[in-house]
Amino acid sequence: MFSVFSLWITSELLPTLTISGGIQNILSTGIALSFLMLFVRPLLKILFIPINVLTLGFFSWSINVIVVYILTLLVPAIQVHAWMFPGISWGGFVIPPIHLSYFASLIFTSLVLSSVLNVLYSISED
């Protein structure tokens, strides 16, 4: 159930992630994400052990990126798009416009999705 809620929250927060259709598509996508996190993610962790050892664990974030990419391949209702941040200027503080390519959007989306999942799991443990 956390996967469904985290997908919905992430799609509401980020313009890079879109889920077409209604609640049934969100539920089916959440079930697919749960399946990938339960079965595919541990296999990828085992496959990437040598790279993780060489990079001292820095490469482990790529596993979540691969899981989100596989999710977009398996479920056509979910899509990750490239995004152009228009920039902000307020009171002398300026953030310039930033263009995120598809790959950068995939990384950003997977980081936010995994962060929301981790927050939900930590709240449920208390």
The predicted pLDDT at position 122 comes to 92
126 pLDDT above the threshold of 90: no
pLDDT single digits (tens) 100-123: 999 999 999 999 999 999 999 899
3 state DSSP class of 55: coil
Give the domain extent around 46.
Answer: 2-125
The set of long-range contacts for 64-71, using a CB threshold of 8 Å and a minimum separation of 24, is: 64/110, 64/111, 64/113, 64/114, 65/106, 65/107, 65/110, 67/33, 67/36, 67/37, 67/40, 67/41, 67/110, 68/106, 68/109, 68/110, 68/113, 69/106, 70/36, 70/40, 71/29, 71/32, 71/33, 71/36
pLDDT single digits (tens) 28-64: 999 999 999 999 999 999 999 999 899 988 888 899 9
Please name every residue paired with 94 in a beta bridge, in sequence order, or none if there are none: 89
7 pLDDT above the threshold of 80: yes
pLDDT single digits (tens) 76-92: 999 999 999 899 998 88
**Structural domains counted in the chain:** 1
The predicted pLDDT at position 10 comes to 93
